[in-house]
Amino acid sequence: MKPQAWIVCIALLLPLAGCGGGAPKEAQEETGAGEAAAPAGEPKEAEKGVLAVEPEVLRDLKLTTFPAELRPGGEGITAPGELKVDEQAYAEVGAPIPGRIVRLLAAAGDPVRRGQPLAVLQSVELGQARAQRIAALARAELARKTVERKRGLAADRIVSRGELQRAEADAAGADADLRAAEAAVSALGVGVRAGDADLAGFSLLSPLSGTVLERSAVQGQQADPSRPLFRIADLSHLWLMAQAPERDASRVREGSPAEITLAALPGRKLQGKVAWVGREVDAHSRTVPVRVVLPNPEGRLKPGMFATAWIGTGGEGEKVVAVPAAALQRLEDQWVVFLPRGGDRFEVRPVERGRELGNEVAIASGLKPGERVVVEGAFVLRAEAEKEKDGGEHHHD
């Protein structure tokens, strides 16, 4: 009986031991999970208002930043425009007479100086005119020597006075023929150059210092005087020809400050002043041309670039903090800007939007001068912020 009693006791105690040992283990695992979850939530709380962008999105994203800055908050207008060369420092160079291009000395993009040869040409008409000048020069020299010789003979009464007068008349006629021959060469537009081995050859010279914008000349072709072979301009400064709306043009004055932004140079602003305001309204666009002169020492500005000018039309007024309009994004029910915080993180900063200042927007509150905000790429960051918020709400549900 005793062995059976022990077996019964052991069978009764085994389930109790299993229950007693399992309960503490489950409780310990749940407690551990709860303790691990608490620190995981702390970083999210610390990162509130910061957007983390996925590496693959950031890799393909082109970002440019621009510092918020103080600028005059006075009234102004916005006018689109295009960069053009200074018409007073621009030239189209062509052959003054028909001729064949035998050598090219400058190409598009080359800097040139005033008087520098651009090409060498040959002209039959020029060769004939120069030959006639040389012949006239020889006749004139001979006539002068004849007069000098006969004057000496007349003094010794070897020749008559009438013969001397005829020699003097011949010399005067030879001088007149020489002047006419020189004028004929000069009228061809290549100047009078004595002693040229190649009577038909001449050089096409640059009329100003600048840069060759275009060369249409081809070696061996016949040059047509009506067609330019080179276009040259001084690019050290350019004109912005802005088109001010008819209703606003009357408020623009010469000397008014202008702030220029270009799509080709995002995040960069140029300062200038209005140099000229048009005197008539374009019948088709109903705009008035406004010229702003822009220095171009680095050569980054190119003729043909599109630009937008904010032109002041009143007093400077109180200075305000302003950012490019593209930096300001609408997220849910508020305006925000994105501030880089290193790596893949961007602060989402709510701001109070003010009035428009051309291509910029005044910030009434929420941003200090000097803080850099994302301009190009801000729209993509807004989409990422909306996606992150939508994902967070679904997870919470």
Q: What's the pLDDT score for residue 47?
A: 67
Which phi and psi (to 5°) does residue 277 adopt?
A: -120, 130
In a domain, 257, yes or no: yes
In a domain, 45, yes or no: no
Q: Among the three residues 179, 199, 219, which one is the final residue of a domain in this structure?
A: 199
In angstroms, the CA 190 to CA 194 distance is: 12
Tally of domains in the chain? 4
In a domain, 27, yes or no: no
Tens of pLDDT, residue by residue over 156-171, are 778 788 888 888 898 8
Which phi and psi (to 5°) does residue 221 adopt?
A: -80, 160
Question: Are 228 and 238 members of one domain?
Answer: no
In angstroms, the CA 104 to CA 116 distance is: 12
In a domain, 159, yes or no: yes
Residue 342 CB burial class (10 angstroms; 0-12, 13-18, ≥19): exposed
Instruction: For residue 125, give Cα distances in angstroms to 24, 99, 187, 192.
Output: 115, 8, 12, 14
Tens of pLDDT, residue by residue over 226-242, are 999 999 999 999 999 99
DSSP assignments along 16-65, one per residue: HHHHHHHHHHHHHHHHHHHHHHHHHHHHHHHTTTEEEPPHHHHHH----E
In a domain, 269, yes or no: yes
Quickly count helices (H) and strands (E) in the chain.
6, 23
In a domain, 382, yes or no: yes
Question: Are 54 and 186 members of one domain?
Answer: no
Question: Are 335 and 375 members of one domain?
Answer: yes
Q: Among the three residues 199, 222, 242, which one is the final residue of a domain in this structure?
A: 199
Residue 119 CB burial class (10 angstroms; 0-12, 13-18, ≥19): buried
Question: Are 240 and 228 members of one domain?
Answer: no
The model's pTM: 0.63
Question: Are 97 and 62 members of one domain?
Answer: no
pLDDT under 50: residue ranges of the chain:
1-46, 194, 394-397
Question: Are 97 and 223 members of one domain?
Answer: yes
Q: What's the pLDDT score for residue 180?
A: 92
351 residue type, one letter: V
Question: Are 324 and 391 members of one domain?
Answer: yes
- Domain extent for 98: 91-118+202-232
Question: Are 274 and 330 members of one domain?
Answer: no
Tens of pLDDT, residue by residue over 312-361, are 876 656 788 989 889 999 998 899 999 999 889 999 999 999 888 767 88
Question: Are 165 and 265 members of one domain?
Answer: no
In a domain, 153, yes or no: yes
3-state secondary structure of 292: strand
Question: Are 144 and 277 members of one domain?
Answer: no
In a domain, 64, yes or no: yes
